Structure 1
Amino acid sequence: MPYNNSMKIYFTCTILLLLTISGFSQSSTIKLRDDLFADKSTIFSKFIPLNNGELTYGACLLDPKTFIYQINQFKADASRKIKNKKNESLIKKDIDYFTRNIVEYYVSHYGRDSLVMATIQQINAEKRSDPNYASLIKEASKKLQIKILSTAEAKFLNEFVLGAADLNDTELFKHSVAYRDWIDSYLYNLNIDRQFRYSSSEYESRYLLPLEAIYNKIPPGFIKNHLTYQYTLFALKMVTNPQKLDSLYGDFARRRENSEYKADIDQVYNNLILSRPNSLAPDFSYYDVNDKLVRLNELRGKYVYIDIWATWCAPCKVEIPFLSRLESDYSTKNIIFLSLSVDNSSDKAKWVSYVKNNKLGGIQVIADKDFNSDFIRKFSVASIPRFILIDPVGQIVFSNAARPSDPDLRNHLDHLLK
């Protein structure tokens, strides 16, 4: 699995994807834990600085030998601090896969100029509607790498990440998020080259590649069964093509070893069937920033464009200026713009403050149980931002509508509202 610049750029997107999978794919009957060694990040930061749990740009400019030396110093120190001698072997594996993930992050971000990265993020946030957006990103990206790994260095680091790895350690899988994250990354990177070969019309096929890797690379047993469930669940929530959805569900249902997960998959699949175009949208009753109850069904008579977002979601915030323009441009049309936050209920005050301080328009409501809210689950929302369009009689037009920044959305709205 050689590392290259395209992989580095893709890996950032992959991490966001994997966070979504890890956060929302727990089976209702099988619980995975992370209870082997709680102080890894705290101890690690004494050897290499972290910022909010991630390597700093400065750390990713260290030469590989110095970086790996510090990694090994951390491993030795962490191993000396193991108190549970009964599980010492398992804990050392947890520490090992934690460092493998750190090294992979280092490789994927190696040699990046922090100022250029800030420029790229600014362009992405402010220039998405600019006709020169693509060329602006391309030009800025040319200056991103100020250091590049040699072939020998890349090979050495690659061996650190992949060498002597075990793909079938059931106990470690059940108790170590570091090991599970490593396997997730391994599955994606197996098909890194194929990820870029799909045309835009075949984009959704990318979500099926990890399943192919699981069938071919993971030995039979608990890990294979759980990963099949995990990635089937995620793919069901991301794929919109009805034929692919039916095929995906059928493949899972035919495998007898997946029986203990079938109830979860059945529920998601049935919800997807109910959220197809022309189906009646489920109702909700959520509170707005002034603690007034808003019912979706009471908005009938107009189209409703729903933006599912959160204050912690950077891509969601990118869409806000575009959504504001839509609200202004369609203010006299038969459409309501509603933003539904999936912030945790404990962060409600933060959400209210963000909405008011940024003077967000439209109807602003917050879900009662974040991603576990009934409305969110019925639409099988796996990632945000997510947009839904409902017609005046309460039927679903698009369960996965175009984003405000996508010109296709205006084309759809102009056609419907003419």
Structure 2
Amino acid sequence: MKRILLIGSVLYCSSLLAQPIKLSGTLASAAGKSLELSNLNEQKWTVQADSSGKFSQSFSDIEKGYYSLSGVGAVYLAPGFDLNITKEKDKILFRGKGNIENNLIVTLNNNIRQLSEEVKEGKMNMVSFPDFQKKMENWKQQQYLLISKTKIKDPAFAAHRRGDIDYAARNIVRDYTYVYGVDMKKRDNFFALMQKMAGNFDRAKLDSARNEMEVKKLTRAERDAIDSINHLGTSMNDEALFKASAIYRRWMDQEIGALIYKPKYRDDFNKGAKSEAIQSKVVGNEISNAFIREYWQYDIASIALKMSEDLAEADSIYAAYSAIARNNNYSSIVNGIYAKIKKFTKGAPAPDFNFRTVSGEKISLASLRGNIVYIDVWATWCGPCKAEIPHLKKVEANYHGKPISFVSISVDELKDTDKWIAYVTDNNLKGVQLMADNAFNSTFIQEFNIAAIPRFIMIDKEGKIISANAMRPSNKKLSEELDKYLAL
């Protein structure tokens, strides 16, 4: 009898494991597109939507856990879930089996976003820290109550949502320290002044503008006390929460960024080490959990490679990562980035593009052959990009009539085409103004591993790469570089 019961239990458990996961729904933004479902291990699945944005797909190879679905965000999946996903009044809504867990994630994320935006916008910038701390504690208790009232069967899931709130609160407190006592209008003026001065800072004017915007200031002792309180009970080695919470990962990302400025890493800065190299050192020293440590090493190496200025630097980054790499998925992605860097290094033929102008005609890189081509990759939403525009205009004017094509490629989303056209027109932008055909996912942008802007590229008269990461217009040495290649 025991044998029969045991066999029955095994068969029952096996049937549960074999239960597929189904995702269906309608998202207007997904019309005719492939949605990507992925996890932290960089495993990816494709969900195809039809011309109306409707999709329906079952998966038998997905384990219980947390995923990201493009156009939706965080999704919690488990065998047997049958989720229907729609967007109503700008809010993602889940129906079907598994909806309770996923709708809770959406609600909590919206609550976190709302409070975070209020703080960043300066709506609590004159509130004393003790009063702010009380507000935060009340807010946390409200979120914990919401979690406890939701009918969640999995206690680990509920614990992870409480972790979301705990670390979201820490992120928000950190943001509070950045805006405390700041006159937000004068802060906007300060940032506008910084953009205007890009590359040619007037320290006295900046200090004066900063002092004007800082109506109140936290003392160093107050900042240290807040920082100490905000770190009570934290850990950088909670693997379960790391896999379950993007908010915890965001906190850790900021924590790594803050640690590089601590005294124990100051010598690295003084020796001229790049921030990515110091971050990698921080991860190696401060994180003991193997999964978390390798994830951040992969993340940092990917970014550092894309930001590398030459092949020698890329070689060094790649060698350092390869020496510690264990995850095949991560290694495959890093290998791909490195391969593109080697393929499109100095002297290699540049990949072509064929992008639209403001008037709608198409221009290719090949059509500019015979000229040196100086490319500015930018976007209308990018402050540092716009700060370079006055300098770019000066360079363009200085080389007017010479065989140089100044090409600006916007990576704005296609839905923002009218916004791009208006910006180009209103600001009387010169040169060849183009819009990439798929924002950051455009082939030309991907081939050059562009993940951050502004980015400048220089191509010679024969269409070969001079530099995949060229000097900015605000760099006074750019003219020397242009003159050198004009003389060839």
| 1-structure distance, mates of 2:272, 2:355 | 34
Do structure 1's residue 389 and structure 2's residue 458 form an aligned pair? Answer: yes
Aligned to 1:312: 381
Aligned to 1:288: 357
2:116–2:172 contact (8 Å) kept in structure 1:
no
| 1-structure distance, mates of 2:389, 2:230 | 39
Check 1:204–1:379 CA distance in 2 against 1; reply closer, same or farther (3 A cut): farther
Do structure 1's residue 254 and structure 2's residue 323 form an aligned pair? Answer: yes
Please list, as runs of the form range in 1=range in 2, the aligned pairs for 1:5-404 lying within 5 A after superposition.
28-29=42-43, 34-35=74-75, 37-40=105-108, 42-43=110-111, 50-51=117-118, 55-82=120-147, 83-85=150-152, 86=154, 87-128=157-198, 133-150=202-219, 153-193=222-262, 203=272, 205-404=274-473
Cα displacement (A) at 1:404 = 1.4
Check 1:41–1:55 CA distance in 2 against 1; reply closer, same or farther (3 A cut): farther
Cα displacement (A) at 1:50 = 3.2
The letter of the residue matching 2:106 is A
SS at match of 1:39: helix
Cα displacement (A) at 1:79 = 1.7
After superposition, the C-alpha distances for 1:103-144 in whole angstroms (9 at most, x for unaligned) are 0111233222334423322322334476x7233223333444
| Structure with greater strand share of residues | 2
| 1-structure distance, mates of 2:266, 2:294 | 28
| 1-structure distance, mates of 2:347, 2:273 | 22
2:160–2:244 contact (8 Å) kept in structure 1:
no
| 1-structure distance, mates of 2:419, 2:227 | 42
Q: Which has the higher contact order (CA 8 A, sep 6+)?
A: 1
Cα displacement (A) at 1:356 = 2.4
| 1-structure distance, mates of 2:161, 2:254 | 21
The letter of the residue matching 1:393 is E
Which moves more between the two structures, 232-241 or 166-175? 166-175
After superposition, the C-alpha distances for 1:129-175 in whole angstroms (9 at most, x for unaligned) are 76x72332233334443323245532432133221112233333233
| 2-structure distance, mates of 1:334, 1:156 | 60
After superposition, the C-alpha distances for 1:323-371 in whole angstroms (9 at most, x for unaligned) are 2222222111110011111111222222222222322221111112211
Which moves more between the two structures, 63-72 or 351-360? 351-360
SS at match of 2:409: strand
Unaligned runs of 5+ in 2: 1-38, 45-66, 76-103
The letter of the residue matching 2:43 is T
TM-score normalised by L of structure 1: 0.85
Identity of aligned residues (%): 30
Cα displacement (A) at 1:178 = 1.3
Which moves more between the two structures, 110-119 or 268-277? 110-119
SS at match of 1:207: helix
| 2-structure distance, mates of 1:149, 1:278 | 53
Unaligned runs of 5+ in 1: 1-24
TM-score normalised by L of structure 2: 0.73
Aligned to 1:10: none
SS at match of 1:331: coil
SS at match of 1:60: coil
Q: May I ask how many residue pairs the two structures share in their alignment?
A: 389
SS at match of 1:254: helix
2:357–2:434 contact (8 Å) kept in structure 1:
yes
Bigger radius of gyration: 2
| 2-structure distance, mates of 1:412, 1:341 | 24
2:236–2:252 contact (8 Å) kept in structure 1:
yes
SS at match of 1:192: coil
SS at match of 1:59: coil
| 2-structure distance, mates of 1:406, 1:203 | 19
SS at match of 2:360: coil
Root mean square deviation, CA, Å: 2.6
2:180–2:217 contact (8 Å) kept in structure 1:
yes
